Amino acid sequence: MARKILLLVSDMNSGGAERVAANLANAWVGRGDQVTLVATYSGHSECFYQLSGDVELCYLADMVAHSGRRNPLRQIKRLLALRRLIKATQPDVILSFLTNVNIAALMASCYSGYPTIVSERNYPPIQSEGWFYECLCRRFYPYAASVVMQTNKGARWIAENLPGVRSTVIPNPVSYPLSVFEPRLSPSEYISPQRKLLLAVGRLSEQKGFDYLLMAFSELAAIHQDWDLVILGEGSIRPALESQIQALGLEARVHLPGKAGNVSNWYQRADLYVMSSRHEGFPNTLIEAMVHGCAVVSYDCDTGPRDIIRHGDDGLLVGPVGDVPALASTLDQLMLDDEARQRMGQKAIDVRERYSVENVLRMWDRVFDEVTKKPNLKNSDQ
């Protein structure tokens, strides 16, 4: 039976939550569901990820008269507009991603009679939105039909800190092959065929720990003179990373090409993938690299990598987070061993089945069935 799904995200830029939203929306409409995807906080902008023509994409900002960025009435107007949209859409289920959007979704849908599922995309203790949002979560999350976490550790945190809130665990799906879109950056423009490629992908932000990675690579560059490092992505700390690269004397060995819409070409070209994050939710890029047969090295951060990597089988976990010599040593181990990288890469491909779209959609279907069959008394005016 086809469903009407109202899917709420902050924006449709190049973040991980946005990629998952696009993948799910495309999969749902592909099987006959009706999906309205709403960017709640951004103004009208270009969608970075490729969406099916059957997905209705709208921007909440287009439904609200401009009242100035700092006008306190602006957020109230958006909440009222969102509530009107919910009533006009009459969805079978509302699904929201990210804490700030989750709060808005629960406030707007309160007593509407439409079940609202909220999804946390990071581990709350690590990436807190601040005391104000923590208070709002405690106030409004009990009104959610379910809170979806990406890892078991996240679900345990919900049970321990928000008693009475219903939660479930659903990992991110991975599509294979990945969609290709603009901008397309050719690996051959940065790395010659004779060079080996250590690849990292992610937003250029403090969370991703690329400063640790650069320090680790600086210890390896002289030893592994046939390897180069590429970090794909864009973000606010680009100037700091560029300065660090220069200070370490790595200008000829480290490249920051920016965002790539053809990231699959880079995974295929990579000899080894590395994740140096301080914390994660459920890292899409790690799974995507493994889907393409990359052996992987990752800090054992909270949360995600230890749920995905089978240590010693398809990749290696490094701890503690921030231990640069340990990261360098583990990378050195695999950079030296072509046979081990190949063996782990062959095992890594198993994630195609473990996190297939079909398997993950079945998990969402179970939650949808549960919340639509069982009336949510806290969130209904019936």
Task: Indicate the pLDDT class of residue 114, thresholds 50, 70 and 90.
Answer: very high
Q: Are residues 156 and 294 in the same domain?
A: no
Residues 96 and 237 in one domain: no
Residue 78 has pLDDT above 60, yes or no: yes
Predicted confidence at residue 1, as pLDDT, reads 76
DSSP H or E stretch at residue 23: helix 16-30
pLDDT band at 201 (very low <50, low <70, confident <90, very high): very high
Range of the domain at 86: 4-173+356-379
DSSP letter at 375 equals -
In a domain, 181, yes or no: no
Q: Is the per-residue pLDDT at 376 higher than 60?
A: no
Per-residue model confidence (pLDDT) at position 140? 94
Q: Looking at the predicted structure, is the pLDDT value of residue 382 above 80? A: no
CA 325, distance to chain mean position in Å, is 28
Whether 165 and 220 map to the same domain: the answer is: no
User: Per the domain annotation, does 374 fall within a domain?
Assistant: yes
Q: Is residue 256 part of a domain?
A: yes
Cβ–Cβ contacts within 10 Å for residue 211, how many? 17
Q: Confirm whether 222 is domain-assigned.
A: yes
Q: Verify that 16 and 162 share a domain, yes or no.
A: yes
Contact (Cβ atoms closer than 8 angstroms) between residue 254 and residue 246: no
Q: Are residues 270 and 192 part of one domain?
A: yes
User: Residue 381 — very low, low, confident or very high, per pLDDT cuts 50/70/90?
Assistant: very low
- Band (pLDDT 50/70/90 cuts) for residue 139 is very high
Do residues 215 and 315 both lie within one domain?
Answer: yes
pLDDT value for 333:
98
pLDDT band at 379 (very low <50, low <70, confident <90, very high): low
What does the pLDDT look like over 208-224, one tens digit per residue? 999 999 999 999 999 99
**Is residue 180 in some structural domain?**
no
- What is the CATH number for 102? 3.40.50.2000
In degrees and rounded to multiples of 5, residue 95 shows phi and psi of -125, 130
Collapsing DSSP to helix, strand or coil, 296 comes out as strand
For residues 347 and 368, membership in a common domain is answered with: no
pLDDT, position 164: 86
Classify residue 178: in a domain, yes or no.
no
Q: Do 234 and 340 fall into the same domain?
A: yes
In a domain, 220, yes or no: yes
Do 287 and 315 form a contact (C-beta atoms < 8 A)?
A: no
Residues 342, 334: Cα–Cα separation, whole Å: 10
Mean pLDDT of the 280-286 span: 92
CB contact set of 156 (below 8 Å; sequence gap of 6+):
none
For the segment 362-368, the average pLDDT, to the nearest whole number, is 96
Q: Do 207 and 147 belong together in one domain?
A: no
Please tell me whether residues 117 and 253 are part of one structural domain.
no
Do the domain assignments include residue 179? Answer: no
> Which amino acid does the sequence have at 259?
K
Residues 163 and 74 both lie in one domain: yes
In whole angstroms, give the CA distance from residue 236 to residue 245: 16
pLDDT averaged over the chain? Answer: 92
Per the CB < 8 A criterion, the answer to whether 261 and 180 are in contact is yes
Angle at 273 between CA 355 and CA 232, to 5 degrees: 100
Residues 280 and 366 in one domain: no
Number of domains within the chain: 2
Contact 102, 110 (CB under 8 A): no
Give me the pLDDT at residue 378, please: 46
* pLDDT number for residue 28: 97
